[in-house]
Structure 1
Amino acid sequence: MLGGLTIIIIASIVLGAVTSVASKSDEFIMTSGIMFTVFGLTALFWVARVTTPYLRKDSGLLWLYKPLASLPEWMGHAGLGATAVLWILAIVFLVDDYIHLPRRRKGGHC
């Protein structure tokens, strides 16, 4: 069960990174991809921090979770704060795109 959760979180990290790299100067998509990556890393940190004390010594995830769990707790809080800031920034870019949409439809330059 924990292995499946880890795979889902790592897939979200990778998909967010790929989305931000492939955004091609679209600020909203790039910011959303970075936000998804930061949120995935933060989720992985908190899952590792909570579950590491309960893992057996022969667990296959101990090599990944033990170093993450040894990081200071403020990193998790900083990740949540960075995710919130990136979410607000993505909303700003989305509203900016929406405001300039009529001009783009008419063929004007941005």
Structure 2
Amino acid sequence: MSRAWCYLFLAIVAEVSSVVVMKLLSREAHWAGMLLMYFTIGLSFTFMALALKKIALAVAYATWESLGLLAVAAIGSLFFKEHLSVMQFIAIFLLLGGVMLVNIAENEHRES
């Protein structure tokens, strides 16, 4: 795995962390939690910027948002007891399929 993809993975982890912190803060906001949330958002964008040096914007953004959504949906379901409807499962499945197609198309474009 290239360094750029590692940066993208770290951007996703930081983004998901910030969203989880936001959810926790929705109950009762503390200044330390707010600082953590802003720090992880900044970290996510910093890693994303590093990833974009080598990964095409469309590929990076689609991957970042889709895998982030998948992780947030799983965390919401497992830890916050939020339930996904059948339609939401289908939408996530289609989104992941779209990201795979964007990545395949980028690889084919690079090879030609």
TM range (shorter): 0.3 to 0.5
**TM-score normalised by the chain length of structure 2:** 0.39
User: Greater RCO between the two (CA within 8 Å, min separation 6)?
Assistant: 2
**TM-score normalised by the chain length of structure 1:** 0.39
Instruction: Tell me which structure has the larger Cα radius of gyration.
Output: 1
